[in-house]
Amino acid sequence: MSDKPQKIGQEAAAARPAKRGAKRDQHGWRETLRAYGRSHKASLHDSVGRLWAQPISTLLTWLVMGIALSLPMGMGLLLDSLEKLGGSWQRAAQISVFLELRLPEAESQALSLRIADMAHVADVELISREQALAEFQQQSGLGEALKELPENPLPALIVVTPKEVERAGLEALLSELQGLPGVAQAQLDLAWVERLAAMLSLGQRFVFGIALLLIAGLLLVVGNTIRLAIEGRRQEIEVIKLVGGTDGYVRRPFLYIGVLYGFGAGLIAWVLLAFGLSWLNDAVVRLAGLYQSDFALIGVPVEEGLLLMLGSVMLGYCGAWLAVGRHLRELEAQVQ
C-alpha cells in the first residue's frame, strides 16, 4: 500500500494488475457491480443485526403487522369459501320453465337447446313429460293410481341455471324466457337468492374497506418505527453523508428494515390464518354435516399465501420508503 493519495477511480483501477483496453474496462465494471453487491449485503446484514438486537420490539412490530394483515385476508378467504358455495346458490336461483302441454317432443328439445345458447344461462336440463310423470309418481307415492289417468297431465319442464345471481339480470332472463314461443310459464323464487347476493357483496365491500384501513395503518406503523430508527441514527447518517455516502446508501438499511418487517409480518399472518381457518373449519364441517353438505373452508392456498408475503413485503418497503424520504429531507437541512 503506497502512501500516495489517489482519486477513487484511479484507485479502483490500480487495485488490480493492469490489463489492456477492454479487459480493463470490464474489470472496472465488474468491480463496481461487486462493490454494489457487497454494500447491499452489508446493509442487509446490518439491518438483520439491528432487528435481532431488539428482539422484543421486533417481535411486537411483526405481531401488530401480522395480526392486522391476517384480518382482511382471513375475511377474504372466508368469502372465497362462501363463494364456492355459490354453486348451490345458483341452483337455488334456478328458473323452472314449464312448456305448453301440446308442444311436440322435438320442439321441446329445440327450445332447450335455444335456451342453453342464451347469454346469461349457465346450464339447462330438459325434463320430458314422461320423466316428469315418473318423478311425480315416485315422489308422490301415487304410482299405480296415476297410471289410471287417460292422459299425462304434466307438461315438459326446462330447468334453467342462470350465470349470475343478481336481481336485474335474473328478472330480465325470466321475462325473456317467458316470451319464448312454446313456453307456458317461467317461475323463479328470488327473495332469498337476492338476500344472499346482497350479503355477499356487502361482505366484499366490508373486507375491502377494512383492508384499505389496515393497509394505511400498517404504512403508518412501519413509517413510525422507521422514523424512530432514523432519529436514533441521526449522528451516523450525518457522518455517512460527510464521508460521501449517497442518499441511496443512507436509505438502504432502513428499506431493508422495512422489508424485514414486512417479511416477518407476512409469515406471522400466514401462520395465524392457517391455524385460524383450520380451527374454524372443524366447526364449519360439523355444521355443514347437519345440513347434509360437504362444505368446508378453503384454508390458505399456497398462491394466496405467497401473495400475502409479497404484499406484506411491499407494504414494509413502501412504509420505510415514505418515512426515509421525508426524514432524509429534514436531516439534509440540519446537517449543514
Nearer to other proteins, 139 or 235 (CB): 235
> Cell numbers at residue 286, please?
360439523
Q: Which of these ranges, 1-9, 18-26, 90-98, 173-181, lies near other proteins under the rule CB under 8 A?
A: 1-9
Determine if 17 is a binding residue for other proteins (CB under 8 A): no
Q: Which of 3, 148, 294, 303 binds other proteins (CB under 8 A)?
A: 3
Determine if 246 is a binding residue for other proteins (CB under 8 A): yes
Cell 443485526 found at: 49
Q: Which of 119, 242, 290, 302 binds other proteins (CB under 8 A)?
A: 242
One-letter-per-residue 3-state SS of the chain: CCCCCCCHHHHHHHCCCCCCHHHHHHHHHHHHHHHHHHHHHHHHHHHHHHHHHCHHHHHHHHHHHHHHHHHHHHHHHHHHHHHHCHHHHHHHCCEEEEECCCCCHHHHHHHHHHHHCCCCEEEEEEECHHHHHHHHHHHHCCHHHHHCCCCCCCCCEEEEEECCCCHHHHHHHHHHHHCCCCEEEEECCCHHHHHHHHHHHHHHHHHHHHHHHHHHHHHHHHHHHHHHHHHHCHHHHHHHHHCCCCHHHHHHHHHHHHHHHHHHHHHHHHHHHHHHHHHHHHHHHHHHHHCCCCCCCCCCCHHHHHHHHHHHHHHHHHHHHHHHHHHHHHHHHHHC
Nearer to other proteins, 4 or 286 (CB): 4
- Min. distance of Cβ 36 from other proteins in angstroms? 6
CA separation for the pair 237, 329 (Å, rounded)? 12
CA separation for the pair 79, 90 (Å, rounded)? 16
- Min. distance of Cβ 70 from other proteins in angstroms? 36
Q: Which of 129, 227, 241, 327 binds other proteins (CB under 8 A)?
A: 241
Number of C-beta neighbours around residue 58 at 10 A = 18
> How many residues in the shown chain lie near other proteins by CB under 8 A?
31
Nearer to other proteins, 19 or 41 (CB): 41
Determine if 333 is a binding residue for other proteins (CB under 8 A): no
| Cα 115 to Cα 73, 91, 158, distances in angstroms | 39, 17, 9
Nearer to other proteins, 7 or 147 (CB): 7
Nearer to other proteins, 143 or 248 (CB): 248
**Positions 30 through 59 that interact with other proteins (CB under 8 A):** 34-39, 42
- Min. distance of Cβ 30 from other proteins in angstroms? 12
Q: Which of 7, 20, 23, 102 binds other proteins (CB under 8 A)?
A: 7
Q: Which of 18, 106, 119, 243 binds other proteins (CB under 8 A)?
A: 243
Determine if 328 is a binding residue for other proteins (CB under 8 A): no
Binding mask 199-238 for other proteins (x = CB under 8 A): ------------------------------------xx-x
Determine if 168 is a binding residue for other proteins (CB under 8 A): no
Q: Which of 110, 113, 145, 335 binds other proteins (CB under 8 A)?
A: 335
Determine if 330 is a binding residue for other proteins (CB under 8 A): no
Q: Which of 136, 249, 263, 295 binds other proteins (CB under 8 A)?
A: 249
Name residue 335's amino acid. Answer: V
The residues binding other proteins (CB under 8 A) are 1, 3-8, 11, 15, 34-39, 42, 235-236, 238-247, 249, 335-336
